[in-house]
Amino acid sequence: MKKIFGCALYIGTQICISAYGIPSAAQAASAASTQSLSVTEIRKVPMQGALVGSAHCDQAGNMYFRVMDTDSSNRPHATLRLGIRKMTRSGSFGSLFEMPDDPSDLLASDFFVTSEGSVYLASRRLADQGAYVVRFAPNGDRTLVALELQKFIPRQIVVFSSGEMLVSGTNGLLNHTPFTGLFASDGKLLRKIYEPEDEEARLKADANDSGYVYEGSDNMAVVHGDAVLGSDGNAYLLRAVAPALIYVISSKGEVLRKLRLESPAPELLAQGLRSGKGKLAVSFLEPYSTRGRVKLVDLGGNVLSELVSNEKATNFGLPACYDGESFSVLHVDENSDITFRRVVVK
């Protein structure tokens, strides 16, 4: 596990214990013209630990996230077997969505939260190299769905209102090949999506391009990507390439259009995607860092505004949600205390 800029990359999962908020030269140069954020609420979350991966919110504003504490850090594959905690808007805790506690050896990656609070966790099993989705009802009841695809490492998941699941990840030799599939609610593969840009990413990974491979395996264009459900009902799938590439995919598995966004600065790469009403917030971050900038765009990819934060507690790479007007941000300080902040875009 290699620690850089206050975060760590562990088997493709980012762990953010704290982020050092010293602005880069590019950020400092543009801060005066792009700073348009206001923190309206701060409260301490009654737990300690390291925040792992991203956060998601449901329609009611409840927040879902993962925390690694002292006990869980001692387990095998600790970051990939953490439960997902639900925190209400008032700060109290609801259901805990936990991985199956059996010999199945399931390892989780990304998760998705529906508007009503059901949780879908993309996973893989080491024993049979199969891909699975752990589906939780809002009350925590759990169902395991096997995906009709073997030797596949899922990375991102979006669930359409109709119940179909869009799952993206990697497979093939050294997991260099991007794969995206539309699956029925029972796991049946309905459609495979493979675009020319995915083939280009595979070729670059095979050529050992440092921008696409990490220690020889997997494809960083996919691993550091993201996916959200837009307010128009389509999935938005981000590839971490330059310029940023976003596939807009319908519930039928059709690629409706492709959005391309230039980075605000040469050292920043698009790695995060959040959805608000009629908008997307695209996070451009420094390598293995929470520090960077956000471009707010409409669903056609037109840039509406650019945001920058020089505060380490509101950096755009931290676990957060976006509702079209404000960000809900989680941060861990040097004492491992977790805080919640609501940040309004002026």
Q: Which domain holds residue 310?
A: 2-345
Q: What is the pLDDT of residue 288?
A: 84
User: Quick one: residue 264, left, alpha or beta (phi over 0 = left, psi -120 to 50 = alpha)?
Assistant: alpha
CA 214 to chain centre: 18
pLDDT tens digits along 124-134: 988 888 899 99
pLDDT of residue 56: 97
Region 240-259 average pLDDT:
98
pLDDT of residue 20: 34
Partner residues linked to 9 by β-bridges: 2, 14
Q: In the structure, what pLDDT confidence band is assigned to residue 34 with cuts at 50, 70 and 90?
A: low
The model's pTM is 0.90
Whether the predicted pLDDT of 22 surpasses 50: no
- % of the chain at pLDDT higher than 70: 89
CA distances, 37 to each of 119, 220, 311, 315 (Å) = 30, 31, 10, 11
Residue 146 pairs in a beta bridge with 132
Hey, what are 87's tokens?
A: 């925190």
Fill in the amino acid letter for 232.
D
For residue 257, the model assigns a pLDDT of: 98
Tell me: pLDDT of 4 over 60.
no
State the pLDDT at residue 85.
95
- The arithmetic mean of pLDDT across residues 20-46, rounded, is 61
pLDDT 10s digits, 286-340: 988 999 999 999 999 999 999 998 889 999 999 999 999 999 999 999 999 999 9
> Residue 128's pLDDT is what?
83
How confident is the model over 199-228, as a mean pLDDT? Answer: 93
Residue 280 has pLDDT above 90, yes or no: yes
Q: What is the spatial distance between Cα 243 and Cα 74, in angstroms, rounded to a whole number?
A: 39
Q: In 3-state terms, what secondary structure has residue 312?
A: helix
| DSSP secondary structure code for residue 175 in this structure | G
The pLDDT assigned to 186 comes to: 97
Question: For residue 51, what pLDDT is reported?
Answer: 94
| pLDDT given for residue 69 in this prediction | 83
Counting the structural domains of the chain, the total is 1
pLDDT score of 103: 53
What per-residue confidence (pLDDT) applies to 6?
Answer: 35
Q: Is the pLDDT of residue 21 over 80?
A: no
9: CATH: 2.130.10.10
* pLDDT, tens digit (0-9, with 9 covering 90-100), for 113-122: 999 999 999 9
- Over range 222-239, report the average pLDDT: 97
Mean pLDDT of the 94-102 span: 83
Of 17, 63, 39, the C-alpha closest to 320 is 63
Nearest to 78 by CA among 88, 86, 69: 69
Distances (CA, A) of 81 to 51, 105, 202: 13, 9, 28
- Residue 202, pLDDT above cutoff 60: yes
Q: How far apart are CA 104 and CA 82, in angstroms?
A: 15
Mean pLDDT of the chain: 88
Task: Categorize the per-residue pLDDT at 72 as very low, low, confident or very high, splitting at 50, 70 and 90.
Answer: confident
Binned at pLDDT 50, 70 and 90, residue 104 comes out as: low
Burial class, 287, CB count within 10 angstroms (exposed 0-12 / middle 13-18 / buried 19+): middle
